[in-house]
Every structure is written in C-alpha cells, then in structure tokens.
Amino acid sequence: MLAAGAKLHTSVPVVIETFTFLDRNANREVALAWKESVSKPGTAKILPCDLRDLEHSWEYFRRTDLHKLSAVDATSFASMKRSRIRIACTFDHHFAVAGFRLVA
C-alpha cells in the first residue's frame, strides 16, 4: 500500500490494543518489534485520541446498527472523521456500517 502512495494512519487506541493483543497472544518480543515497525518514519501516522474524540465516540454507541461495537472502534471513527479519513483497511464490518469505505 505504501508503494502505491497510500498514506497510512492508525490511532493511539489501536496501537495500545494491538500491542496488548500481540503481547498476550505471541510474546513481548513480538509486541515490541511490531511497535518499532509501526513507529518508523514513513510507515504510519499515529493519530492522537483526545477528549473531543472520546466525547464524539459515544454517539456511535447510540446507533442500533452498530451492535457489539468496541470503544477502540468508536474512538477510531471519531478520530477518522476529525481527520477526514474516509477509507479503512480492515475486515471489521463496523467501519462500513459507520460510513467508511473498506479496503482489505
């Protein structure tokens, strides 16, 4: 994707969630290696998650079409909306339901 000129973004909550997943399901070495790879310049921009994003995320929980939504997904939607990101590289159907175009 980078070779095709895509600008990759992730968010602080996604970084935390992914690190924790790798740490628990692989090991700390794998988690730290992943963290180093995602932190390399030119790989992905890590978007902050501020109080405004948290406040906007609650709106997604009020939607009946977003059943079993995670807080990480909801804050991601808010961060993406704030940053005007419309395309998500994910297999998570919640992003499509929330109005993002999926690339997976």
Tell me the pLDDT band of 23, cut-offs 50, 70 and 90: very high
The predicted structure's pLDDT at residue 3: 64
The predicted structure's pLDDT at residue 52: 96
Classify the phi-psi angles of 60: left when phi > 0, otherwise alpha if psi is within -120 to 50, otherwise beta.
Answer: alpha
* pTM, 2 dp: 0.86
Buried b / exposed e across 37-75, counting CB within 10 Å, b at 16+?
ebeeeeebeebebeeebeebbeebeeeeebeebeebbbb
The predicted structure's pLDDT at residue 13: 96
Note whether residue 2 is domain-resident. Answer: no
- Mean pLDDT of the region 5-15: 90
Note whether residue 4 is domain-resident. Answer: no
Note whether residue 60 is domain-resident. Answer: yes
Note whether residue 71 is domain-resident. Answer: yes
Note whether residue 45 is domain-resident. Answer: yes
Indicate which CATH number applies to the domain containing 37: 3.40.50.1010
CA distance 57 to 63: 11
The predicted structure's pLDDT at residue 47: 94
At 9, list the tokens: 């973004």
In one letter, which amino acid is 61? F
Note whether residue 64 is domain-resident. Answer: yes
Whether residue 2 is predicted with pLDDT greater than 80 in this model: the reply is: no
Note whether residue 18 is domain-resident. Answer: yes
Tell me the pLDDT band of 98, cut-offs 50, 70 and 90: very high
pLDDT digits 0-9 by tens, 29-86: 999 999 999 999 988 999 999 999 999 999 999 999 999 999 999 999 999 999 999 9
Domain that holds residue 31: 9-102
At 48, list the tokens: 């902050």
Note whether residue 1 is domain-resident. Answer: no
Number of domains comprising the chain: 1
